[in-house]
Chain A
């Protein structure tokens, strides 16, 4: 079965510090990978997708097929980045989500 793992349930960093949210996937083919974010009292929404290789809100994520990872990074965290982050992989017509990491950016 496809799996997405996010080893940290909670990650706390200070404002201005770099942040990295880890994500590993198990998939032997060519995966489609995503990061979704859920801010307080808001809907779960797409943050970025590996296929577009874009930077959203200062976040980037690089697909490393050798390590089967898709870690989310931001060089300088902001308080408004505090949210729940989910890594997801698409295989076939299904999306598999990791358990999520709650990021808390402290002032």
Chain B
């Protein structure tokens, strides 16, 4: 079953703790993305990676970090420096389809800071 797997689905964290969200894809996509979804704000790009061992900051990268050591994996770490980390996080990957990149999304991870 091809697709994107995010884990955990729900995560609770105490203030001051770092937490890592997992994102794995078996679609053989080169590009991977992390978005944050907040009500009324749509999806905001945190980080993206076009190729292994390379990644770029998105619009709201402060307080987050990523790595891309393998093509299939793009974990996101929410650090204690992130001021408002409670949110729904979506991972996505993209392929070329008929000349247009198309995003495929995971099911998401909901992080709650207590």
Contacts and interface: CB of A to CB of B under 8 A. Distances in A.
Contacts of A57: none
Interface of chain A, helix or strand or loop or mixed?
strand
Contacts of B107: 43
A45 B97 CA distance: 14
Contacts of A52: 98, 100
Interface of chain B, helix or strand or loop or mixed?
strand
Interface string B37-70: 0001111110010100000101100000000000
B11 interface: no
Nearest to B58: A94
B104 to A, nearest CB: 8
A49 B56 CA distance: 25
Interface in A1-59: 1, 4, 6, 9, 32, 34, 36, 43-46, 49, 51-52
Interface of B: 31, 33, 35, 40-45, 48, 50, 56, 58-59, 90, 94, 98-108
17 contacts: A6-B42, A34-B100, A36-B103, A43-B105, A44-B105, A45-B105, A51-B100, A90-B101, A94-B58, A95-B33, A95-B45, A95-B94, A97-B35, A97-B44, A98-B42, A99-B41, A100-B42
Given A43-B107, A52-B100, A97-B42, 11 more contacts: A32-B101, A43-B106, A44-B90, A44-B105, A86-B43, A93-B56, A95-B45, A97-B35, A97-B44, A99-B40, A100-B40
